[in-house]
Each structure stands twice: as structure tokens, then as C-alpha cells.
Structure 1
Amino acid sequence: MAQKGFLDRIKKQFGDGNYEGDQFGGAGGHDGSGLPVNTPGNFMFATGIECSYPTIQHGKVRRDLLRECGHYERFKEDLGLVREMGLNVLRYGLPYYSIHQGSGKFDWSFADEAMAEIKRLNITPILDLMHFGVPDWIGDYQNPDLPVLFAEFAGAVAERYPWVRYYTPVNEIYVTARLSGKEGAWNEQLKTDKGFVTALKHCVAASIMGNHEIVKRRNDCVIVQSESAEYTHEIKATPSPQIMLENELRFLSLDLLYANQPSASVAMYMMDNGLTREEYDWFMAGKPPGYQVMGNDYYGRNERIKLPDGSIETSMDVLGWYEITKDYYERYRMPVMHTETNVFEADLAPIWLLKQWVSVMRMRRDGVPVIGFTWYSLIDQMDWDSQLKEVNNHVNACGLYDLDRKPRPVAETYKMLLQEFGQITIVPHAEMLEITERPAQLKVAT
């Protein structure tokens, strides 16, 4: 008779699989499927509501995408759609330009209604406090008073809504400074390197001081810094100094924000265009307080190819979010969130969403702590094909829902992802590593 092996003995004693205890992380443990749950360890599946409000035509016209896309009138319906999607997290921008009406003066009428509804629906907002514009009385990004004035607003928001933990103080600082100070599209509409550096240093300083005002009221705050992940590919045997510099400048806002010393060429560029040594030393003193997350926004149009004749083509996903964000992660070693993506062609949106999710999963498998993903935005946008520079009332079909609040095909694809992956943790084994509610203290790199 053949001698019985250890499996025979186990089966006799404990049965043929499905052991008691498997449900606690064994063979019968949860695989992460099912719609997201509102726990600190849950991966943060999100959407956002587009809220840009720059001025154009030298201050004569204020774009306000919340108004142009009907959110002010339909905010309850829009917030209901977030829950209809099965989402718990929302990147949400309060209209800074209209709320902050003067030093110590605020109009909270719309904000209070919207925030009450967000709270009632148990949605976790990542609250966006400055999105491409400032109040008329502040002027523009060249105003050196901006960091102090914005800090007042950030503190007032944190005081008024103490239940909010997640913030983006200043959205896409690099893009804000480039389009306002260098490319002449928005706000001050300057086309100078000095205008760019001035706008950028004021925005970074505003973010830092706003962060300080938030953390004084909420010392466990999580700051999700949404920044555009950019790259220009140059088809040229000898790379041009201009493109080499541009590919370094894409890091500049985060370098200053996270106290990471930029390259010598970038440091000289900043000094040549108005950054003082005292200001530089101030930025290099250390990261802002609270828990910091590096959010990378990626659209196919973020990658560009420059041809030998100087013309620019949109390259659409040559390196993709994975490769570009890996550059940012290796530079800063911060937890990561994919904070924005979309395409303007509704029929291409489902496959674009799947490609972004594959990048997120690969990044997580490679050991990078990616804590969240955002399809931006909930509803269609207006005139982003012209970067809001022209009032064409052209609908960009990039939302989960159209402007009639009818679902687009990408909504069903996102729901499928949520059903399949909605309960995965922020990083593997994050049940042991849930985002703590203790005050942030240590900033240790090793």
C-alpha cells in the first residue's frame, strides 16, 4: 500500500481546501473586486468637475467652466452622478475668483450649498483652491502679494469646512505660469521668461503658504499636488538648447515645491529671470507640511514631437503616463496619483481609459505607491481645444457624461473597471498601511 503523503493527512484533518481562516487573506481572501468602499486603505478612484476660470482678452472676459457647463444650476444633479458612477472621490474646485472678494471678505453662498451636498452624499472631495485664475482685485500672477492673499483664502476654507482632509492648493502650477506668463494666453498674458518665472514662483509660494494655513487647522491633511506630466521629443541629430531646457523646466514647479535642487542650467535660468538667491534658499528649506502626494496629469497632447523644420506635432502616447510619471517618481520619491486624463473624441475614450489603467497597474506592480486614478472630468468641457483662449462654445466630448448629463461610452468602461478593481488597496498590503489620521510629522527619505 502506498504511503499516504502530507496532503492526505491535511485533508483528513482540515478538509479539501476552503479552510476556516482563508477569508482573512488566504486562498479565499478578497480579490479587490466590487465597487469602491470609503475606507482609508481603498485605492482612490475619482473623477473631477472642470472648474477653470482664467481671464482672457486682457482681462475683459472671465472664463468660468462651472458656469459655462451648467454646474451652478445643476450641482446636485452632477454630484448625484458621481454616486451613480459608484465613485467616492471627487476632485472639486471652489471658484476662488468669486468667493474671495477682498481681504477678509468672502461670499460662501454657492460653496456652502455644494459642500453640504458633497458631505450629505458622503463623497470625499479633493478640494481644488486655485484653478488657473485669481480674483479681479488681486490682478494676476505677477502680484507679489498673491501668496499672502491666497493663504488667507486657504485658511478660511479649512476653517469653514473642517471635515475636508484632501486638498490641491494650486492646480497645475507649471501650466498656470506657462500660459499666463510665457505663452500670453491667460490672465497677465505675458510672453517673457521673466513673466513665467515670476508667475511660477508666486504660485509655488502661494501653494506652500496655503498648505501651511490648511495644516494649522487640519494637521493630518493630505495635499495632492496636481501637475502636468510633459515631454517634448525632438527629431534632430543635435538636440537644441531650447528643447533641452524646456524638458528640464517641466520639473521646476515641483522642484521648488518639494525642495529638490534643480539643475545648474535651470537655476541660472531662474536667476537670470528674477528669482533671487534669498527666494531660492527659502524654497529649498524643505517640503511643505502634511502628507504629500504627487499627482501627475497626463493627456496625449502632453507629449509633443518637434520636427527639424521647427513644427510641432502632438504625439499621443509615445512614452505614455507610465514612462513619464516614472521620471517624476524617481526624481521625488513621493506617493503618486494619476490626477487627470481624457481625450476629446468620445469614441476613443474607452480604450484611452483602459490604456491609462494598464499604466497604473504596471506602475503598482513595479513597486511605485500609486494611490489613485482620475478620469477628468465628470461632464463635458468647453473650448479646451483652444486652451480657453477663444470663446467658441465648442463642446469637448471628454466627460463621463455629456452636457445633458447623459452617459458617454467611457462611463460604462469606467464602471466596468470599478466593478473589477474597486476595492483594491492603495498599495498592496495597505490594510497594514492605511492612511493614518495622526498628524504628519516625519519627513524621512531613507
Structure 2
Amino acid sequence: MFATGIECSYPTLEAGRWRMDQMAACGHYRHWRTDLRLVRDLGLRYLRYGPPLHLIHRGPGQYDWAFLDEVAAEMQRLDIVPIMDLCHFGLPDWLQNFQNPEVPHALADYARAFTRRYPWVRLYTPVNEMYVCAKLSALEGVWNEQTRDERAFVIAVRHLAKASVLMMQAIASERPDAVFVNSESGEFYQPCCPDPEIRRIAAFENERRFLPLDLLYGRPVHEDMRDYLLQHGMPAEEYAWFMQQDVRRRAILGVDYYEWNEKLIDSNGHAQALGELFGWYAIAGQYYQRYRRPMMHTETNRMDARDGPRWLWRQWHNVELIRQTGVPVVGFTWYSLTDQVDWDIALREPLGNVNPVGLFDLNRDPRPVGLAYQHLVGLFQADLAGVPSLEAALEAASEAVTKEAKRFHA
């Protein structure tokens, strides 16, 4: 599945007084017909698309589908296959933020209503990058609740993971053959030196990055993380509930990768951007070994537009390399279709900085990486022999999960 995406983040800032809506900032609400046509012009069919949750979900049982109805009809006309991204870093105003215990059930209701409205949609990302959303919202004070608190972080993780489980179950109840692409940021923490305390901090962060996915997939967490969850307010019965759920069978694990995903724990115990040290191949391999799901490279880009084509080929070579080891990678994504705005400052304030990361600029003119991606897609589609189908990859991974579960219980 060669894909791109429409950047659709919509977190709130300053206690909800304003919202950073990337679809507005990048012009998608005005140019959505052009954007969909550009997807097909590139030779792509798959599109990560995040409908504006904050504009659609107006209250309990209240939905405004007007904009999305038009977009969905045009997708069908153009034969675009959307991977519908239902919650992307923000919530409707009436739900406030991720500390709200009503969030999981409200989002499950939305997912069920969405599936009934668009029964032809098969691919879903229920909640995008749960770890990043919880971390930036509740631990680093950037978005939404804007706290810097370990307990708030655990609450956000619990609510995001529970929302994702309930959304997957709600969608599957309406469409049993739905496929879920659980996109998460591929993180890694490297200690700067062999100092025991620095190594301990890095080890802790390398376990904490997995927390939302562990809960989502019902994988027992490391004992340090179990203590951490209990210490910061997670009830034992809620943890047990997660361990009793199983939503993995029709799940693809998406691992996103950017140059800032790898971090160095410095001599003061602080995380600093490290740049590309090990790369997507090594880090995605860690996630695969933990969860044994079919994988997809669900996001990447480069802030330096001149270096975009080189970065694209580096990521693609990582995909080829990991596939040669037998890991079932079923998709690749350059994110996003167009340039973005203010992501160089993580959407902290509305400066209007255009980040030249797109396949097209905001005038909808192609960037060099857009032409390179079009070339890559053409090359690959000329040689599809031996590539497993999506269904075959899912079935093989499900068998692997069953064997792993039997081994674990033994």
C-alpha cells in the first residue's frame, strides 16, 4: 500500500481557547478536490485521511457529516482507498481533553456512527500516535490539557488506549472484515554513557514508549511499567480489562519515523534529539519483535526539501532490508501530500512557518520528493510478483500471535 496523507492535526492550546487545525492552515478545506486528484496523479490509491473530528462530532449522538460526505463521494469516484484516521491529536471542544473519562466511550460511539455512515470504508486508524499524543499533551505541556505531570500522562495513556480498543470493537461489530492500521511513533532512547543512572533512565523510557501499544494489544507490560502504572493511579481491574481484550487479529502495526525520533539521554538525564543513528529498520524491528504484527511505514518526511529525495530512498531501503529478513511490511507512506505549518515548533503557537515537507507545496506544485515518490511507485508496481496480499499477511501474523501466546502461557 503506497500511501500519502493529508496532515490533519487539530490539538488545542491555551486551555482550549484556540485550535491548531492543520487542514485549515494547509488549505485543504479550500483545495480538497485538487488534493484528492493529486493523490491519483502520483499513481497512488491509498490515502491516510483524518476527517475533522472537532467539526463532525458536535455532541453526544450529534454529527455534522456535510463536508465529509462530499469528500467521501469524490474518493469513491477517484477510486481512492482511505485509511480513515478518526482521532489525530485532539478532541471536540465538548470533550475538552484526554483527562476526561468520557473520551473512550464517546469516541467509540463516533467510530460506530462513522462506520454506519460510510460502510464502504474498510481501513481505519482509530487513534493516531497514542504515545506522542499523551506525552505532548500531559507530560510536556504542549497541547490539549497542557500539563507536566506523570499521573496525567498515565490517565491520558489509559484513555487513549481504551478508546482505541473500544473503537476497534465498535467498527468490527459493523464491519467484521475491517482492517486497523495502528500508527505509532517509532521511538528510541540511547544512553550517552555507561553511567548506571543514565542507562536506567534510557531503559525506563524505552519501556514507557510501548505503554499504549502494550495496553491496546493486551501484552503484559514490563514489571517496572506495571509498578509505574499502579503508582500513578491505574486501577488493577482496569489493567486486567486490557489484558483480557484481543483486537490484534486484523491489526497492522504502523511505525512512523522522523529524524527526531531517536533521542540521547545526556549526562544530566535529559532527552536530546540524536538524529538518525540506527534508522527505521532497527527501531521498527524492535516493535515487530514485541508485537508480531504485519507492519507499515506510516509516516516520514524531511524538513529540508532539498534533501527530501535522498531521505525517501533511505526510508525505502530500510523497508526493503527489513522485508528481506521476513518481516511482513505491507505499506509505505510519505507524510504528507502537501507542506505543513508550524510543525518545526510542534504546533506550540501559530507563527505560520511553512515546513517544506510535502510531496507538493502549498500552491499544489510538485516538490522534488513528489517526483521521486512517483518514480518509486512506478518502479515497484512494475514488479509485484511475490508480494503477499494484505489478507495473507494478516493471517500469517495472526498465526504467529497464537503461537507466541501459547509459548508465553507455557
- For this structure pair, what is the TM-score category when the shorter chain's length is used for normalisation? over 0.9
Structure 2: which amino acid aligns with 1:343?
R
Counterparts of 2:202 and 2:368, CA distance in 1: 38
CA positional deviation for 1:232:
1.7
Q: Is the 8 A contact 2:129 2:183 kept in 1?
A: yes
Q: Is the 8 A contact 1:227 1:297 kept in 2?
A: yes
Counterparts of 1:230 and 1:403, CA distance in 2: 29
**What is the correspondence of 1:302-381 to structure 2 with a 5 Å cutoff?**
302-310=261-269, 312-381=271-340
Structure 1: which amino acid aligns with 2:190?
H
CA positional deviation for 1:290:
5.5
Equivalent residue number for residue 283 of structure 1 = 242
Q: Is the 8 A contact 1:215 1:290 kept in 2?
A: no
CA positional deviation for 1:54:
0.2
Question: How does the TM-score come out when normalised to structure 2?
Answer: 0.94
| Aligned-pair Cα RMSD in Å | 1.9
**Total equivalences in the alignment:** 400
Task: Tell me, yes or no, if structure 1 residue 208 matches structure 2 residue 165.
Answer: yes
Equivalent residue number for residue 189 of structure 1 = 146
Counterparts of 1:169 and 1:48, CA distance in 2: 15
Q: Is the 8 A contact 2:55 2:64 kept in 1?
A: yes
CA positional deviation for 1:237:
2.1
Equivalent residue number for residue 39 of structure 1 = none
Q: Is the 8 A contact 1:211 1:289 kept in 2?
A: no
CA positional deviation for 1:436:
8.5
Structure 2: which amino acid aligns with 1:409?
P
CA 1:433–1:390 in structure 2 vs 1: closer, same or farther (change >3 Å)?
Answer: closer
Structure 1: which amino acid aligns with 2:132?
V
Task: Tell me, yes or no, if structure 1 residue 82 matches structure 2 residue 39.
Answer: yes
CA positional deviation for 1:311:
5.8
Counterparts of 1:105 and 1:433, CA distance in 2: 35
Q: Is the 8 A contact 2:217 2:248 kept in 1?
A: no
Structure 1: which amino acid aligns with 2:64?
D
Q: Is the 8 A contact 1:99 1:108 kept in 2?
A: yes
Equivalent residue number for residue 274 of structure 1 = 233
Equivalent residue number for residue 25 of structure 1 = none
Give 3-state SS (helix, strand or coil) of 2:263's partner. Answer: strand
**What is the correspondence of 1:408-419 to structure 2 with a 5 Å cutoff?**
408-419=367-378
Counterparts of 1:358 and 1:436, CA distance in 2: 23
Equivalent residue number for residue 31 of structure 1 = none
Task: Tell me, yes or no, if structure 1 residue 168 matches structure 2 residue 125.
Answer: yes
Structure 2: which amino acid aligns with 1:54?
P
Counterparts of 2:214 and 2:394, CA distance in 1: 26
Q: Is the 8 A contact 2:201 2:265 kept in 1?
A: no
Q: Is the 8 A contact 1:223 1:290 kept in 2?
A: no
CA 1:278–1:409 in structure 2 vs 1: closer, same or farther (change >3 Å)?
Answer: same
Q: Is the 8 A contact 2:341 2:355 kept in 1?
A: yes
Equivalent residue number for residue 75 of structure 2 = 118
Equivalent residue number for residue 206 of structure 2 = 247
Equivalent residue number for residue 97 of structure 2 = 140
Q: Is the 8 A contact 2:5 2:49 kept in 1?
A: yes
Counterparts of 1:55 and 1:122, CA distance in 2: 33
Give 3-state SS (helix, strand or coil) of 1:190's partner. Answer: coil
Task: Tell me, yes or no, if structure 1 residue 157 matches structure 2 residue 117.
Answer: no
Equivalent residue number for residue 101 of structure 1 = 58
CA positional deviation for 1:306:
3.0
**What is the correspondence of 1:379-390 to structure 2 with a 5 Å cutoff?**
379-390=338-349
Counterpart of 2:363 (choices 404, 425, 428) is 404
Give 3-state SS (helix, strand or coil) of 2:93's partner. Answer: coil
Equivalent residue number for residue 225 of structure 1 = 182
CA positional deviation for 1:99:
0.4
Equivalent residue number for residue 444 of structure 1 = 402
More helix by share: 2
Equivalent residue number for residue 8 of structure 1 = none
Counterparts of 1:262 and 1:277, CA distance in 2: 13
CA positional deviation for 1:112:
0.6
What percent of counterpart residues are identical?
A: 46
Q: Is the 8 A contact 2:252 2:394 kept in 1?
A: no
| Superimposed CA distance per residue, residues 16-48 of structure 1 (whole angstroms, 9 cap, x where no aligned partner) | xxxxxxxxxxxxxxxxxxxxxxxxxxxx00000
CA 1:339–1:358 in structure 2 vs 1: closer, same or farther (change >3 Å)?
Answer: same
Name stretches of at least 5 consecutive residues in structure 2 with no aligned partner.
405-410
Higher mean Cα deviation, 307-316 or 176-185? 307-316
Task: Tell me, yes or no, if structure 1 residue 263 matches structure 2 residue 218.
Answer: no
Question: How does the TM-score come out when normalised to structure 1?
Answer: 0.86
CA 1:328–1:289 in structure 2 vs 1: closer, same or farther (change >3 Å)?
Answer: closer
| Superimposed CA distance per residue, residues 146-185 of structure 1 (whole angstroms, 9 cap, x where no aligned partner) | 1111101000110000000000000000001001111110
CA 1:405–1:253 in structure 2 vs 1: closer, same or farther (change >3 Å)?
Answer: same
Equivalent residue number for residue 3 of structure 1 = none
CA 1:93–1:441 in structure 2 vs 1: closer, same or farther (change >3 Å)?
Answer: farther
Counterparts of 1:68 and 1:326, CA distance in 2: 35
CA 1:81–1:442 in structure 2 vs 1: closer, same or farther (change >3 Å)?
Answer: same
CA positional deviation for 1:422:
2.3
CA positional deviation for 1:244:
2.0
CA positional deviation for 1:59:
1.0
Higher mean Cα deviation, 235-244 or 217-226? 235-244
Name stretches of at least 5 consecutive residues in structure 1 with no aligned partner.
1-43
Counterparts of 1:148 and 1:432, CA distance in 2: 30
CA positional deviation for 1:310:
4.9
Structure 1: which amino acid aligns with 2:14?
Q
Counterparts of 1:422 and 1:272, CA distance in 2: 51
Give 3-state SS (helix, strand or coil) of 1:237's partner. Answer: coil
